[in-house]
Structure 1
Amino acid sequence: MKFSKDIKRYTDYSGKPAIIMLLTQQGLWALLQYRFFNWIYTSSLPKILKWPILGIGVLKLKGIEVLTGITIPYSATIGEGFYIGHHSGIIINAGAIIGKNCNISQGVTIGVSGRGDKRGIPVIGDYVYIGANATVAGKINIGDKAVIGANSLVVTDVAAGTTVVGVPAVKVSNNDSADYIL
């Protein structure tokens, strides 16, 4: 189950029991709600059951957004082992695709941008680290094990295993995310 792998990432980082993490980590609160309603969204339940439950989901996710400052729509696709380092100011577009074992920090936006055929939403690979207040926007691909530095604006593809920083973000090294992700 994806949520159990999310919890494991939190306990691995902190060394604290899962129950403590569930009671104290706003990122896990948001992920729990997201995982449940994403499961409903992707299930084969009859529409007569699915849509009323998702209506409740919209309200519950809005409540989590107000409480934690984390927006994760149930229609986003997020791989297992997702880790939100700090809560608040996190916005993930409803059409975003995020791979497994990714870390994001506070203030991160993953959203739509661009013009014409360049307009779209990012696809983020596995084991990607996104630093505080970074924005990743547009019809771009972020390669596996990439690192996006704090306060960066990423609007072009990022090669796997590289580090980018700046506005707009540019490659600064071939260092991958191994030192950032457990």
Structure 2
Amino acid sequence: MKFSKDINRYREYSDRKNVLFLLFTQQGLWALFYYRVFNAIYRSKLPGLLKKLLLVIGVLFQKKVEILTGITLPYSTQIGEGLYIGHHSGIIVNANAVIGSNCNISQGVTIGVSGRGDQRGVPIIGNRVYIGVNAVIAGRITVGDAAVIAANSLVTRNVDSHTTVMGVPAVQVSDNDSRDYI
């Protein structure tokens, strides 16, 4: 189950604290819990009317979590297992975005839509990507596996795997990967 992998990531970062303690104190886990529940319903083969009713309830729960935590994770987003949200507040993920497994998202991050015409779209983020504080990743782009997006960066172009980008607009500054961050 993907949520158990999320919990394991939080335990790694918190000296293996008790799961109940983490569930009560980590706002990122609250948001992930509701995301995982309602994403499972969204992807299920439940009868149409029942599924729609449950998803309306899901929107209400997710809005509650969004207000309490400042984290927007729509149930239609594709998020791999083991996501870690380092700090709550100001995190917005577009409903059509794709995020790989074992990624870290810091506070203030936006993963959203941008571009015009054929270039309009949302990012696809690979596995083991570290996204720093207040970074914005927008448009029909791909962020490769094990990439690092530095704090306060604006990413509007593809990012190669195993590289670090920073700046506005973000440019590659090194071949260092996310190994030390994830």
Category of TM-score, reference length = shorter chain: over 0.9
Q: Spell out, residue by residue over 1:45-98, the C-alpha distance to the aligned partner (whole angstroms, 9 max, x if none).
A: 011110000000001100000000000000000000000000000000000000
Aligned partner letter, 1:4: S
Unpaired runs of at least 5, structure 1:
none
> Which residue in the other structure is 1:159 paired with?
160
> Which residue in the other structure is 1:77 paired with?
78
> Which residue in the other structure is 1:11 paired with?
11
> Which residue in the other structure is 1:33 paired with?
34
Question: How big is the shift at 1:116?
Answer: 1.1
Aligned partner letter, 1:28: L
> Which residue in the other structure is 1:107 paired with?
108
How far apart, CA to CA, are the structure 2 residues paired with 1:18 and 1:84?
16
TM-score normalised over the length of structure 1: 0.99
How far apart, CA to CA, are the structure 2 residues paired with 1:175 and 1:116?
34
Alignment length (residue pairs):
181
> Which residue in the other structure is 1:128 paired with?
129
How far apart, CA to CA, are the structure 1 residues paired with 2:84 and 2:9?
7
1:62-73 alignment to 2 at 5 Å?
A: 62-73=63-74
SS of the equivalent of 2:50 reads helix
Question: How big is the shift at 1:167?
Answer: 0.2
How far apart, CA to CA, are the structure 2 residues paired with 1:158 and 1:115?
20
How far apart, CA to CA, are the structure 2 residues paired with 1:137 and 1:74?
19
> Which residue in the other structure is 1:171 paired with?
172
How far apart, CA to CA, are the structure 2 residues paired with 1:59 and 1:22?
20
Aligned partner letter, 2:6: D
Question: How big is the shift at 1:19?
Answer: 1.2
SS of the equivalent of 2:66 reads helix
SS of the equivalent of 2:137 reads strand
Question: How big is the shift at 1:17?
Answer: 1.5
Q: Which runs of 4+ in 1 moved over 6 A?
A: none
How far apart, CA to CA, are the structure 1 residues paired with 2:12 and 2:22?
11
How far apart, CA to CA, are the structure 2 residues paired with 1:170 and 1:18?
39
How far apart, CA to CA, are the structure 2 residues paired with 1:102 and 1:18?
20
> Which residue in the other structure is 1:61 paired with?
62
Aligned partner letter, 1:138: G
| Percent of residue pairs bearing the same amino acid type | 68
Question: How big is the shift at 1:160?
Answer: 0.1
SS of the equivalent of 2:52 reads helix
